[in-house]
């Protein structure tokens, strides 16, 4: 064994020589620099002077003793630390089972069994303590900077080893991720298919035997809370189909506490359990629908389910909740939701046999309350549903049959006869008791049938109809009043400016409803209604011309529906129509409404003042010069009606030198007058007819010429039309079949003949070729198709009329045959009786 080499210790640099404090001189500049940079010298206060002094003193003592003594001290310390560590590890070591490992035999004959350390490796197995490496213990304690550098180096080494290990597995990582994702998708798809299969099985089982599988409804409702939105929608629709199939035709009443305490049979218990479970699950389903209605993802499905349930079972429990949800959706901004809700309300109104009228009156009340709450700012479809209401106009109270008249009357002679004949009295008593029994049984059967049919009696039906009418007219009057106040306020604030947004969305359906149900209005309210309509017709701001014209039309309809009980002056509405003709604009206003006003106010009116009729004739003739063919045709048809009914107004057709033939009555004609009675139209002449007779449209020129001569051409079909509405529809732009090319070709031929001698005919030839090339073949084919379609319909109508005639003849022959057989049987009976 050689001598160990001495350890080389890196000694620190020598310290500077000690200088007494008295000899240290600090200049003012150094002192000032230190004071200004106190923060940079703050680390000196945190130095561990005790450890530094100890280390420096130990190195200094080692220099004084010598290198051999310092080496011996370090070896002694190492041996001591090693012995201590071996002892600790020996105590922590665990002996291996003797079955698992063979022992080792030493030279002195002793057996030593292997031991393992208690510390576990990464794999979880015990590590053999024989191979543990000892860490070198430094003679000098490392400083903080050295420790930091060593830690940083170890981290870099660990990171390098991890990168090397990850590089080997880098190819397998993407494949594992893709496989995991595919596995996840497959499991989700399997779960989705299983849920769909479960929904189908539960629904089929419920529809096959609802009483035995009524508990399955709870499982289906639980599926409505699934996180997958598709499963939720399928669950809602499946439950809808199930409930529409199993809901009974009566309203379920749960038993009271006293009824539950009573002993009942098994069938009654089973039925009670079925009804209670059905009602509880139905309530939970409705609550889920109302909750999902607020979610945009499920809004359409929830609204469709609610509407379908209300339409299918308006008699069942919780129908008020369904109706409230549907009424709140009739003014939705979503077109689909609004259309479905309005269709459901209309179905309720038209099919009152399902609910006996209760849902109708409740729906009308809810709509009226909603119109009031929203201040009439709703979609027009909200009250357009009132047009589907049907009222029984022939609700006449049936005459009660006097039962006393049915009973036989007995006078004294009958009593005396009955007293004399006891057998006859006994027979009469038996007949009377039998009749009373039959009548009583019939009354009981009628009562049971009425309860089963769920039809209200006459008094209830009359009461419900009156309440429905009052709610409908209350809504209509509220809309009229709101429109009147809003137009007055807007005229005071904004002057003549009209907002682009429609401020009165409910006015048009309100006027339509008043026109339809005008004959059902109470006479006490007609006066106020006429005042409202007159003020709205004269409103100069907020309403378009069509709405003001509609107010005039509704006033005339109300007056004619209650002609026997009213005495209302309609002169104000004629004044409004006379002034509105000057404000009409084809692109902005509706021509159908104007034609309807002509028909109701001028053509159908029986009594016209001569001055008023002449004023309207003159203004309508001027109106015909300014607008299109459809409006002009409607106006000329009205002029023709007025001239036919008012013979004295035909003086306007005369062209005297000093005006009309009755020009002495009025000084002169005032075209700017606002009142037709003060216009002086009888002093004017219908010179407009001369211009209209040269109109580009042949039909208008024909009727203008006929009016001027008061002899309409019989060959023109349009002249036989007695309604301005029909004239407007036939000549409107959508249905107009007028072709101007023929007239243009004729005029070009005339120009060709009148060409000067020096001009060539090439220009006229080019014009003819251009006109011939401009013929629209598609338009011609469409017209031919319509023509042949009309011919085919005429042939089909002829065949239908022939079949109807044959059927009538056969029925008549059959009736004659039955009458003959009846007469023959009577004759045979008479002969038998005679024999």
Is 833 a domain residue? no
Smallest CA-to-CA distance from 632 within 685, 740, 704, 550 is with 704
Give 56's pLDDT tier (boundaries 50, 70, 90): low
Average pLDDT, the chain: 75
In whole angstroms, give the CA distance from residue 287 to residue 413: 77
The answer to which of 28-42, 170-184, 425-439, 522-536 has the lowest mean pLDDT is 170-184
In whole angstroms, give the CA distance from residue 387 to residue 516: 8
Measured over the CA atoms of residue 191, residue 195, residue 198 and residue 204, the dihedral's sign is negative
Q: Are residues 587 and 703 in the same domain?
A: yes
Residue with tokens 């022959």: 813
* The last residue of a domain, from among 35, 58, 86: 86
Q: Are residues 437 and 498 in the same domain?
A: no
The answer to which of 55-64, 270-279, 340-349, 808-817 has the lowest mean pLDDT is 55-64
Q: Are residues 561 and 644 in the same domain?
A: yes
> pTM for the whole thing?
0.60
Q: Are residues 439 and 516 in the same domain?
A: no
pLDDT of res. 118: 52
Is 704 a domain residue? yes
| Whether the predicted pLDDT of 368 surpasses 90 | yes
pLDDT of res. 753: 46
pLDDT of res. 125: 42
Q: Are residues 279 and 354 in the same domain?
A: yes
What is the percentage of the chain residues whose pLDDT exceeds 90?
14
Q: Are residues 341 and 233 in the same domain?
A: yes
Is 243 a domain residue? yes
Is 201 a domain residue? yes
- What is the per-residue DSSP string for 405-421? HHSPP--HHHHHHHHH-
Q: Are residues 649 and 505 in the same domain?
A: yes
Mean pLDDT value of segment 339-343: 93
In whole angstroms, give the CA distance from residue 758 to residue 778: 40
Give 282's pLDDT tier (boundaries 50, 70, 90): very high
pLDDT of res. 64: 61
Is 197 a domain residue? yes
Q: Are residues 438 and 357 in the same domain?
A: no
Is 812 a domain residue? no
In whole angstroms, give the CA distance from residue 666 to residue 678: 9
**Which residues form the domain of 362?**
184-388
- What is the per-residue DSSP string for 105-137? E-TTS-EE--EEEEEE-TTSPEEEGGGPPPPPP
CATH number at residue 237: 1.25.10
* The last residue of a domain, from among 681, 708, 742: 742
pLDDT of res. 488: 61
Q: Are residues 542 and 438 in the same domain?
A: no
In whole angstroms, give the CA distance from residue 514 to residue 504: 16
Is 778 a domain residue? no
Is 60 a domain residue? yes
* The last residue of a domain, from among 742, 776, 797: 742
Mean pLDDT value of segment 694-717: 73
In whole angstroms, give the CA distance from residue 114 to residue 105: 11
Strand pairing category for 104-105 and 126-128: unpaired
- Residue 548 Cα distances to 498, 539, 625, 657, 738, angstroms: 14, 8, 23, 40, 32
Q: Are residues 423 and 376 in the same domain?
A: no
Query: Tens of pLDDT along 535-564?
Result: 888 877 778 888 889 999 988 888 877 765
pLDDT of res. 711: 45
Give 493's pLDDT tier (boundaries 50, 70, 90): very low
Domain tally, the chain: 4
Q: Are residues 430 and 502 in the same domain?
A: no
The DSSP secondary-structure symbol of 776 reads -
Mean pLDDT value of segment 100-126: 62
Q: Are residues 430 and 531 in the same domain?
A: no
Query: Tens of pLDDT along 130-141?
Result: 434 443 433 345
């Amino acid at each position: 064994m050689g001598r160990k080499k001495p350890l080389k210790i890196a000694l620190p640099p020598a310290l500077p020589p000690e200088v007494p404090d008295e000899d240290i001189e600090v200049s003012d500049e150094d002192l000032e620099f230190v004071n200004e940079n106190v923060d940079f010298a703050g680390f000196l206060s945190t130095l561990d002077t005790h450890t530094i002094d100890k280390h420096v003193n130990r190195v200094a003592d080692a220099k004084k003793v010598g290198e051999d003594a310092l080496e011996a001290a370090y070896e002694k310390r190492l041996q001591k630390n090693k012995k201590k560590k071996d002892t600790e590890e020996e105590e922590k070591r665990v002996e291996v089972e003797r079955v698992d490992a063979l022992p080792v035999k030493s030279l002195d004959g002793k057996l030593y069994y292997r031991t393992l350390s208690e510390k576990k490796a990464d794999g979880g197995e015990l590590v053999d303590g024989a191979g543990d490496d000892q860490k070198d213990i430094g003679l000098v304690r490392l400083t903080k900077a050295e420790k930091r550098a060593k830690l940083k180096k170890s981290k870099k080494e660990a990171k390098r080893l991890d990168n090397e290990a990850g590089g080997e597995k880098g190819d397998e990582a993407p494949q594992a991720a893709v496989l995991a994702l595919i596995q996840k998708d497959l499991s989700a798809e399997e779960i989705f298919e299983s849920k769909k299969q479960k929904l189908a099985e539960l629904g089929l089982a419920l529809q096959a035997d609802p009483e035995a599988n009524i508990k399955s409804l709870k499982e289906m409702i639980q599926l409505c809370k699934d996180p997958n939105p598709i499963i939720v929608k399928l669950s809602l629709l499946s439950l809808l189909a199930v409930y529409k199939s199993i809901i009974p035709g009566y309203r379920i009443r749960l038993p009271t506490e006293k009824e539950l305490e009573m002993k009942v049979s098994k069938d009654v218990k089973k039925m009670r359990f079925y009804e209670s479970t059905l009602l509880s699950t139905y309530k939970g389903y409705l609550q889920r629908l109302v909750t999902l209605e607020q979610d945009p993802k499920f809004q359409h499905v929830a609204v469709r389910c609610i509407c379908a349930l209300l339409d299918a079972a308006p008699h069942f429990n919780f129908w008020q909740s369904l109706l409230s949800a549907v009424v709140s959706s009739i003014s939705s901004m979503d077109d689909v939701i609004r259309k479905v809700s309005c269709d459901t309300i209309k179905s309720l109104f038209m099919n009152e046999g399902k609910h006996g009228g209760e849902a109708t009156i409740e729906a009308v009340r809810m709509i009226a309350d909603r119109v009031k709450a929203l201040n009439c700012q709703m979609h027009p479809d909200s009250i357009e549903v009132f047009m589907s209401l049907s009222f029984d106009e022939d609700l006449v109270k049936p005459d009660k049959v006097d039962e006393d008249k049915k009973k036989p009357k007995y006078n004294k002679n009958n009593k005396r006869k009955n007293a004399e004949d006891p057998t006859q009295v006994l027979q009469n008593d038996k007949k009377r008791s039998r009749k009373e029994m039959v009548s009583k049984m019939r009354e009981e059967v009628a009562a049971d049938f009425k309860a089963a049919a769920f039809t209200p009696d006459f008094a209830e039906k009359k009461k419900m109809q009156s309440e429905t009418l009052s709610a409908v007219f209350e809504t209509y009057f509220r809309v009229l009043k709101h429109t009147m106040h809003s137009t007055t306020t807007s005229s005071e604030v904004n002057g003549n400016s009209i907002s682009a947004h429609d401020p009165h969305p409910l006015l048009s359906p309100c006027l339509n409803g008043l026109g339809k149900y005008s004959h059902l209005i109470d006479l006490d309210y007609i006066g106020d209604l006429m005042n409202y309509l007159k003020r709205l017709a004269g409103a100069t701001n907020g309403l378009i011309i069509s709405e003001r014209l509609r107010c005039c039309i509704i006033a005339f309809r109300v007056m004619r529906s209650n002609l026997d009980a009213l005495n209302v002056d309609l002169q104000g509405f004629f004044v409004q129509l006379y002034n509105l003709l000057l404000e009409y604009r084809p692109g902005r206003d509706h021509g159908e409404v104007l034609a309807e006003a002509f028909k109701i106010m001028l053509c159908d009116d029986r009594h016209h003042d001569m001055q008023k009729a002449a004023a309207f004739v003159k203004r309508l003739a001027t109106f015909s010069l300014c607008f299109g063919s459809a409006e002009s045709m409607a106006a000329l048809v009205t002029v023709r009606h007025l001239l036919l009914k008012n013979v004295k107004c035909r003086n306007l057709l005369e062209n005297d030198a000093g005006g009309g033939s009755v020009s002495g009555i009025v000084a002169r004609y005032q075209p700017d007058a606002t009142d037709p009675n003060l216009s002086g139209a009888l002093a004017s002449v219908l010179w407009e007819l001369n211009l209209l007779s040269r109109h580009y449209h042949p039909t208008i020129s024909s009727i203008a010429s006929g009016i001027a001569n008061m002899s309409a051409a019989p060959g023109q079909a349009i002249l036989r039309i007695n309604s301005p509405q029909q004239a407007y529809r036939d000549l409107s732009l959508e249905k107009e079949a007028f072709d101007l090319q023929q007239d243009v070709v004729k005029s070009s031929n005339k120009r060709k003949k009148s060409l000067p001698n020096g001009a060539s005919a090439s220009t006229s030839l080019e014009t003819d070729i251009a006109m011939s090339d401009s013929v629209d073949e598609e338009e011609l084919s469409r017209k031919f198709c319509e023509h042949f379609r009309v011919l085919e319909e005429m042939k089909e109508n002829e065949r239908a009329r022939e079949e109807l005639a044959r059927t009538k003849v056969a029925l008549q022959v059959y009736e004659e045959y039955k009458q003959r057989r009846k007469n023959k049987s009577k004759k045979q009976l008479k002969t038998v009786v005679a024999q």
